[in-house]
């Protein structure tokens, strides 16, 4: 009966050791079917911005030549 309290004390001290907890891994981002659609949409928006910018530059050049 005497070894039981000693064993419990040893287990309690072992549980309170100064070991840092293991690092928690971040879950990997899972690709969804919409990711490709969103990427395509963003590419289309970027292309539209470029087209609008070039059209604005051409309009300015045309106005400059007419004056």
Taking the whole predicted model, whether its pTM rises above 0.85 is answered as no
Q: How confident is the model at residue 1 (pLDDT cuts 50, 70, 90)?
A: low
Please state the rounded mean pLDDT for residues 5-26.
77
Q: What is the pLDDT of residue 41?
A: 96
Task: Give the distance, in angstroms, between the CA of residue 2 and the centroid of all CA atoms in the same chain.
Answer: 56
Q: What is the pLDDT of residue 31?
A: 79
User: If residue 32 lies in a helix (H) or strand (E), which one and from where to where?
Assistant: none
Q: What is the pLDDT of residue 17?
A: 66
d(Cα 52, Cα 58) in Å, to the nearest integer?
10
d(Cα 44, Cα 52) in Å, to the nearest integer?
12
Number of domains observed in the structure of the chain: 1
Q: Which domain holds residue 56?
A: 34-67
> Is 3 a domain residue?
no
> Is 13 a domain residue?
no
pLDDT tens profile 18-63: 777 778 887 777 778 888 899 999 999 999 999 999 999 999 999 9
> Is 8 a domain residue?
no
């Amino acid at each position: 009966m005497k070894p039981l309290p000693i064993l419990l004390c040893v287990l309690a001290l072992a549980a309170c050791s100064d070991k840092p907890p293991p690092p928690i891994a971040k879950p990997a981002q899972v690709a969804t079917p919409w990711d490709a659609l969103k990427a395509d949409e963003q590419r289309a928006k970027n292309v539209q911005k470029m087209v609008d910018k070039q059209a604005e530059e051409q309009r300015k050049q045309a106005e400059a030549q007419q004056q």
